[in-house]
Chains A and B, each alone.
Chain A
Amino acid sequence: MPVPPTPRCRTVRSWVSAAHDDELSVERQVAMDSHLASCATCRRAQDELASLGVALRRGAAEQRPDDAAFAGLATVVLARRPFEQGLSWRRRLREAVEEGPGLWIMGGALAATLAVTILVATVLSLATPLHPQSLAGLLQTSVALGSNANPISLATGITWAGPAHGRFAYASQLLPRVWADTRAAAMLIQPGPLLLLDNLTLTAVVTREGQLASVKVLREGTPDADLARAVSRLASGVRFVPARLAGAPVAVNVVWVLERTTVHGEF
């Protein structure tokens, strides 16, 4: 940094301490001397600093013990030295800590890292669950296409076969099938009075685990909650081979349209 030929008082004041300690560069010292020749205020600051040093040294001299204070030091140290050679590792570790701040810094950094890790883990564990209607929730759901929360729609007979294929595939390749063992239950045939329905629409989700969920029933075009509950109860014993996409089980929406079907059951 270039030294101004005529430095201001503020600049000179910042140099006074270094000048007092003979640590000022020659250029700055020359500029400072030039300024001091015409500035009584800065000279006073310099004098105060000099007086401070004198007073400190005078105080030290007043307190200074004479050499008799440490007369036996060498004898004691040299007598203790052989016994100090075989120190335990704990004592050596303490010495290493005392000799410098390095171990303190390393230990502090380690402790801080650990504390931050625990804090982050705690915050994450206590965080409010993702709201399904939030943007993040929607994004997460869209990413998990084919999960039970975001089943694949089997619309108009075809569906997307996944990015690995890059093309559309027929739904027949994906449709879930009823396990042969539970096919009887799936027939929904129970003893009791016959119920004749002209038009029955049933929507549901066949989950990844092969269960029927989210059952809704439209009876003659009108939602029928009681019938939906009854169908759910009856379907609880039904198991499906889940639909598969790229070899992995996926949840799918299914729609059954029944026309002029006779259903035996206690609805």
Chain B
Amino acid sequence: MKTARAIDWSETTGTESALAERCAAGDAPACQELVDEHQRMVYHLAFQLLGHHEDALDLSQDVFLTVFRSIHRFRGDSALQTWIYRIVVNHVRNRQRWWRRRRRSGEVSLDAVMAEHGEPVAPIASTSPERALDQKELSQRLWRALGRLPFEQRSTVILRELHGMRYAEIAFSLGVTTAAVKSRLARARQTLRTELKHR
């Protein structure tokens, strides 16, 4: 399952450019439209990267304010959504640097998240309770392993596996080359596959 449709840069349409122009001009309905359209994606990506609801919500606000301040620089060389992804990733990266500087957190607190959100929100479709428990434990272990990955690898995996982004889009969002994206994905998956084998 891919939670987001694949984004094609050719989708940078006149509609998006027009929306961006209206937002840059301070048009309130256009700003409302932009937030309504992208808030789900922004919040979920922030939550997946930070692992904490309050932090994700706070960061989402900052992301949209940054979007409005810099929307005049949006040139349409990527889809608007991909451009916003980039802002989210940069905000998360900087917030984590800020945390590290204050020794509040060396890593994303996914362990704490798992403790907080320990019970699944929805029942897992499976053939037996034992199998469902196995799958749940495996997912939890994988997410803990994901939380221990370096930020650049973790964000690459999340953008690819959970947001269905293509390599070129991930590269744009992270400000790296597609070769770096491939390399990070390969290394991250190798680490996670090792975790998967130790079940």
Identify the A interface with B (CB < 8 A): 14, 17-18, 21, 23, 48-49, 51-67, 69-70, 73-74, 76-78, 80-81, 84-85, 87, 92, 95, 97-101
Given A65-B53, A84-B69, 13 more contacts at CB 8 Å? A17-B182, A18-B182, A52-B196, A54-B1, A56-B142, A57-B3, A58-B124, A60-B143, A62-B121, A70-B60, A73-B64, A78-B35, A98-B66
Find residues 60-74 in chain B having any chain A CB closer than 8 Å to their own CB: 60-61, 64-66, 68-70
A56 CA to B31 CA in the complex, in Å? 33
Q: Are B185's CB and A21's CB within 8 A?
A: yes
- The complex places the Cα of A85 from the Cα of B167 at a distance, in Å, of 35
Q: Is B90 an interface residue (CB 8 A)?
A: yes
A73 and B161 within 8 A (CB): no
What are 9 sample pairs from A and B whose C-beta atoms fall under 8 A apart? Answer: A14-B186, A21-B185, A55-B142, A56-B139, A60-B162, A84-B68, A98-B90, A98-B94, A100-B90
Return the 3 tightest CB-CB contacts between A and B, nearest first: A59-B139, A74-B35, A70-B43
Chain B residues with CB under 8 Å of A69's CB are: 43, 47, 53, 57
Partner of B47, one of A52, A65, A99: A65
What residues of chain A lie closer than 8 Å to B139, measured between beta carbons?
55-56, 58-59, 62
| Contact bitstring B116-160, A, C-beta under 8 A = 1, else 0 | 010011101000000000011011101100100000000001001
Name which residue of chain A comes closest to B6, CB basis: A22
Answer yes or no: B22 CB below 8 A from chain A CBs: no
* B interface majority secondary structure: helix
Q: Which of A14, A56, A63, A73 contacts B43 (CB 8 A)?
A: A73
A51 and B196 contacting across the interface, CB-CB below 8 Å? yes
Asked if B193 contacts A57 (CB within 8 A), the reply is: no
Please tell me the number of chain B residues within 8 Å of chain A, measured between CB atoms: 57
Taking Cβ atoms with an 8 Å cutoff, the residues of B that contact A are 1, 3, 28, 31-32, 35-36, 39-40, 43-44, 47-48, 53, 57, 60-61, 64-66, 68-70, 87, 90-91, 94, 113-114, 117, 120-122, 124, 135-136, 138-140, 142-143, 146, 157, 160-162, 166-167, 175, 182, 185-186, 189, 192-193, 196-197
Residue contact A61 to B122, C-beta cutoff 8 Å: yes
- Check A55–B138 contact: CB distance below 8 A: yes
In the assembled complex, which residues on chain A have CB atoms less than 8 Å from the CB atom of B68?
81, 84
Residues of B with C-beta under 8 A to A61: 121-122
- B90 contacts which chain A residues (CB < 8 A)? 98-100
Most central of A54, A65, A70, A74 by chain B CB within 10 Å: A70
- CB contacts (< 8 Å) of B161 on chain A: these are 53, 56-57
A62 adjacent to B193 (CB under 8 Å): no
In the complex the two chains form, what is the Cα distance from A48 to B189 in whole Å?
10
A63-B142 Cα distance, complex, nearest whole Å = 13
If A57-B3, A77-B35, A100-B90 touch, whether A70 touches B57 (CB-CB below 8 Å) is: yes
Q: Would A80 and B167 count as touching, CB distance under 8 A?
A: no
CA distance A68 to B160 in the complex (A): 25
Q: Which residue of B lies closest to A56 (CB)?
A: B161
